[in-house]
């Protein structure tokens, strides 16, 4: 069997950001319609070290995708990312493996892209001030994606590590480092939580009227999103599986009634409203779904085949 192998650099080069935003919208619609086969993700845990998740998905017209992603937060001590992943694609007609590609970049990019899609759908049209809390991998990807969907004029970057915030802010002339989370959040129109915090990083009374909040952090049994924001805001999720216990869903949503959440696909299909007025607090909480990985990997594979990228190996 011939298998195409793609590196992280190749994945980043081949994955078009705007095409990914549209592909994610298509996948969220398919999820809401029940067109996607995606068994609940499973977890292998290594005590006091980290865990590995298996995330399969398929829908008609796409390859079968399986992502294996490890989360080991102490990796930074070894100079390694806290999230490492491998993405595998299979032919849906034969089950034969077609491609193996870096999944670390796919995880980082699709997570931020889905959050940016929520901004495109739910933030006020006149949103101009962006606050990014966390200056790691997700902070970097959010800085790249969110300004694609709104005409941002000011970007505030805050982190527990000021030197990281300074470094990230230096990547965009509109951005500046802000020393405290509260200062970054007050007056912002879009607030993106991109931390590995096990407890809330934003207090509800810091938020301005009409703000859109996104949260992509995953740190069970806790999390970065304040429970009052979940209950007071208009809550949006990729799928209602987000309300399941971890590792399937989000720790911050485990005790929340699923009926309180709206799937992004329901908004895209016109089944439920998105933002209802300029004063409303909208909140997007990401669980990270295998359909997002499939959307990104399928785009990468298609482009790689068009341009002849990657290395083919025989097994």
C-alpha 183, offset from chain centre: 24
* DSSP result, 206-239: GSPTT-EEEE---BTTB-SS-HHHHHHSEEEES-
The superfamily (CATH) of domain 118-289 is NAD(P)-binding Rossmann-like Domain (3.40.50.720)
Please report which residue ranges of the chain form alpha helices under DSSP H: 8-14, 17-33, 104-122, 137-145, 162-169, 181-185, 227-232, 264-268, 290-307
The superfamily (CATH) of domain 2-106+291-314 is ornithine cyclodeaminase, domain 1 (3.30.1780.10)
Q: Helix 290-307 to helix 104-122 angle, to the nearest 10 degrees? A: 110
Report whether 30 contacts 14 (CB < 8 A): no
| Domain boundaries, given as residue ranges, for the chain | 2-106+291-314, 118-289
What pLDDT was estimated at residue 183?
98
What pLDDT was estimated at residue 170?
97
Report whether 135 contacts 165 (CB < 8 A): yes
d(CA 133, CA 142): 10
> Which residues 6+ apart lie within 8 Å of 78 measured at CB?
none
What pLDDT was estimated at residue 76?
83
**pTM strictly above 0.75:** yes
d(CA 313, CA 315): 7
Q: pLDDT truncated to tens, each residue of the chain (315 aa)? A: 899 999 999 999 999 999 999 999 999 999 999 999 999 999 999 999 999 999 999 999 999 999 999 999 899 889 888 889 999 999 999 999 999 999 999 999 999 999 999 999 999 999 999 999 999 999 999 999 999 999 999 999 999 999 999 999 999 999 999 999 999 999 999 999 999 999 999 999 999 999 999 999 999 899 999 999 999 999 999 999 999 999 999 999 989 999 999 999 999 999 999 999 999 999 999 999 999 999 999 999 999 999 999 999 998
């Amino acid at each position: 069997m011939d298998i195409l192998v793609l590196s992280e650099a190749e994945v980043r080069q081949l994955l078009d950001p705007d095409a990914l935003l549209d592909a994610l919208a298509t996948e969220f619609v398919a999820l809401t319609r029940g067109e996607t086969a995606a068994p609940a993700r499973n977890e292998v845990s290594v005590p006091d070290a980290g865990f590995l998740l298996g995330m399969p998905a398929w829908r008609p017209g796409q390859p079968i995708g399986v992502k294996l992603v490890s989360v080991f937060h102490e990796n930074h001590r070894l100079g390694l990312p806290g999230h490492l992943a491998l993405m595998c694609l299979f032919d849906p007609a034969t089950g034969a493996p077609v491609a193996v590609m870096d999944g670390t970049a796919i995880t980082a990019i699709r997570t931020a892209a889905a959050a940016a899609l929520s901004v495109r759908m739910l933030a006020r049209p006149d949103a101009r001030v962006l606050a990014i809390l966390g200056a790691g991998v997700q902070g970097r990807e959010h800085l790249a994606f969110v300004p694609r969907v709104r005409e941002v004029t000011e970007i505030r970057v805050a982190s527990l590590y000021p030197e990281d915030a300074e470094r990230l802010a230096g990547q965009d002339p509109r951005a500046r480092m802000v020393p405290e989370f509260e200062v970054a959040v007050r007056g912002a129109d879009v607030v993106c939580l991109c931390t590995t915090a096990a407890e809330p990083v934003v207090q509800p009374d810091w938020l301005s009227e009409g703000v859109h909040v996104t949260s992509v952090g995953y740190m069970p049994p806790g999390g970065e999103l304040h429970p009052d924001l979940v209950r007071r805001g208009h809550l949006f999720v990729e799928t209602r599986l987000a309300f399941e216990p971890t590792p399937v869903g989000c720790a911050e949503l485990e005790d929340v009634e699923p009926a309180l959440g709206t799937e992004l696909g329901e908004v895209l299909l016109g089944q439920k409203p998105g933002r209802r007025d300029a004063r409303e607090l909208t909140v997007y909480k990401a669980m990270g779904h295998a359909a997002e990985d499939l959307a990104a990997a399928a785009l990468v594979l298609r482009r790689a085949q068009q341009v002849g990228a990657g290395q083919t190996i025989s097994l």
